[in-house]
Amino acid sequence: MRVGILALQGAFAEHAAVLEKLGAEHFEIRQRKDLEAPFDGLILPGGESTVMKKLLHDLGLLEPLAEKIQEGLPVFGTCAGLILLAKEIEGGSPCFGVMDIAVKRNAYGRQLGSFYVRESFHGIGMVPMTFIRGPYIASAGKDVEVLAEVDGNIVAARQGNLLVTAFHPELSEDLSIHRYFLQIIERRACQNA
Ligand code: GLN
């Protein structure tokens, strides 16, 4: 199994460290030629979604990645990565626009822009959740499974092979959500075998 981590900007190194701990092969995606060798999963990290979207476009990565995602490549989007996958962005335009969710960016206001909670994650249990000027999912389509909520707002969800969290699991010691993502990749590999 090989997992690509979009490494244009933001918290990509932290995801690499988690995959390292889990013993999953990973590599950084910075330019088109990084997409030449096959890979089985993609992580879109947190950072600034507007900057990442521009860089994806300018570097010619948007189309080839969109194609792979459409073909069913498992993707884990955290925070800004969640925004990149959403079909609808309040006050903005979508990037990949593949996941049937509407998101509100910087959703917690200035005061509460960054905070930490422990909450329940469906199928895993209590997990630490670090929010940094994160979005939340204001609404989700019928094919979207809600995995976690904080104060009544959806903060983690899955639609087929797409997994998103509004918080940053890569900033905690808890490896369970990345493990969950690796299981999605493994399941797909079995289906394709
Ligand atoms: N506020 C950022 C955005 O809108 C997301 C923040 C993050 O990824 N920590 O892209």
15, 43, 48, best to mutate for ligand 1 pocket (most atoms within 8 Å of CB):
48
Considering the candidates 79, 88, 95, 178, report the single residue annotated as catalytic. 79
Residues in the chain: 193
Over the Cα atoms of the chain, what is R_g?
15
Q: Summarize the confidence of residues 93-112 as an average pLDDT.
A: 88
Residue 110 has pLDDT above 70, yes or no: no
Helices (H) and strands (E) in the chain, counts: 5, 12
Any idea what the Cα angle at residue 163 is, between residues 144 and 39, rounded to 5°? 135
The CB-based long-range contact list for 33-40 (8 Å cut-off, 24+ gap) reads 34/4, 35/4, 35/61, 35/64, 35/65, 35/68, 37/2, 38/2, 39/2, 39/3, 39/4, 40/1, 40/2, 40/3, 40/73, 40/74, 40/185, 40/188, 40/189
Q: Summarize the confidence of residues 118-127 as an average pLDDT.
A: 97
Ligand 1 binding pocket (C-beta < 6 A) is: 46-49, 79-80, 83, 105-106, 132-134
Q: What's the pLDDT at 112?
A: 62
Q: What's the pLDDT at 106?
A: 86
Q: Bridge partners of 88?
A: 102
57 is catalytic: no
Alpha helices in the chain (DSSP H): 12-21, 49-58, 62-70, 80-85, 176-192
Q: What does the pLDDT look like over 36-52, one tens digit per residue?
A: 999 999 999 999 999 99
Q: What's the pLDDT at 111?
A: 59
Tokens coding 103 = 């998101």
Residue 132 has pLDDT above 70, yes or no: yes
* Identity of residue 21: K
Distance (angstroms) between ligand 1 centre and the Cα of 23 equals 28
Residue 109 has pLDDT above 70, yes or no: no
